[in-house]
Structure 1
């Protein structure tokens, strides 16, 4: 197949935070795959000459993504860039400014599209359906999503709109920390992005899953307690100390390189 049969992309750069880095899809020992890597694999299956870089670093807020990753991304002269930013701003207990976050995202859209790249982005799901403690964040999610859609419309940016679809709140698409997608969730995001970009054969990203077995009240309470102790507590402690999970970390794929397409059973 030639590149132009299914997509025109030869240089793909992903920028963002932990979701784009791939947290939840792998581990520290083996490394992280994630939806952006999976999307690169989908693109490389059509064009084996595709070059791909992933500049995302966990914990990064939108202003820092713009400051650290936009310049290097532009220097690579990509023809496709995915931008996923805003969640680390949105979940902060205070100080969230949807207009400021959206302005930083739009500035990235502006510079990337002006440089000739096609840009794709993602809206956020109803995170209150994933973590009950996040239900109060719904107005923030709605506000930021509306601003992202409007900015995308102004710049011809492709939007993978996750919010309207109930499947995006299915717990099986989320890892145990309830903050990052699971391997299945990352695979669904990659397929959704491929579908949004017009690649055929990925329409099933919204397919429903079999019903979950019922959970007792005690079982649910135990799961919440385990989650708070194992994940939410440490997250809050980092916030109190002004620390980030990304402190001292660098991008996992800082330069453009070839993509290895895995065996179908790994996908």
Structure 2
């Protein structure tokens, strides 16, 4: 990509990762990497427009069926599509269906925008990552193939060890912290051919080791506040995004958004 590339509009499609959880603002809303990227693009382009159709908890079939057709009508300069990871975290998943939905979304979006961006999502080090790693890597092979076939950019967040660091993840262990989202925004910024402002892959400073009692307390809090509710939703077929509207449903000038 050229360093003088001009992007006047951006549409983000996906789930909680693109909605911005857990980059929490004082008013209780979520910011996240897509909002951060939009703010930076808006500073370069007067009249810049932004839409974020992401809704937490969405599976790739819902993203392909509900969000991608809307995004395709917007004719944006940049569209980001991140999805499928929620599917891989389900007790059972048909990766053939995941592939089919991803192909459907990419085939719709790629010709409708100036540049489609796909991502290999990061994963937090730990037992969940160990268990689901084979599914995640199968998902990323699919994305590799689709990016090559359709001329999409592929941002490899999974290949950055710093984003697997537990300190980059919120207490729910499913969503990045504000620092993680900031680095993702920089990664996409650079992938679009824009001048780097920092090394988003740079390691964190050495951590102070946490004692066993503190780790145990943190594990119990995580299980009570996050793991058990998450399991309950899986068992009952509910989603954290049920009934929620898209984050920013229309492609509007950035200044009309509460995001800043």
Q: Work out whether the TM-score is over 0.5.
A: yes
TM-score after normalising by structure 2 = 0.92
Look up the match of 2:37: 39
Per the alignment, residue 195 of structure 1 pairs with 190
The answer to whether 1:256 aligns with 2:251 is yes
CA–CA separation in structure 2 for the residues paired with 1:44 and 1:104: 31
Which residue pairs with 1:77 in the alignment? Answer: 75
Any stretches of 5+ residues in structure 2 without a counterpart? none
| Structure-1-length-normalised TM-score | 0.90
Indicate conservation of the 8 Å contact 2:9/2:50, yes or no: yes
Distance 1:5 1:235 in 2: 42
Displacement of 1:179 in angstroms is 0.4
Any conservation in 1 of the 2:3–2:193 contact (CA below 8 Å)?
no
Paired position in structure 2 for 1:238 = 233
1:105 corresponding residue in structure 2? 102
Which consecutive unaligned segments of at least 5 residues does structure 1 have? none
CA contact (8 A) 1:6 1:46 kept: no
- CA distance in 1 between counterparts of 2:197 and 2:107 reads 28
Instruction: Please state whether the residue corresponding to 2:210 is helix, strand or coil.
Output: coil
Give the number of aligned pairs. Answer: 258
Partner of 2:46: 48
CA distance in 1, matches of 2:3, 2:181: 26
Change (3 A) 1:212 1:5: closer
Q: CA deviation at 1:107?
A: 2.0
- 111-120 or 236-245: bigger deviation: 111-120
Task: State the alpha-carbon separation in 2 of the partners of residues 97 and 219 from structure 1.
Answer: 39
Aligned twin of 2:181: 186
Counterpart contact for 1:13–1:80, Cα < 8 Å = yes
Whether the aligned pair in 1 keeps the contact of 2:119 and 2:156 (CA below 8 Å) is yes
Of 60, 63, 72, the match for 2:61:
63
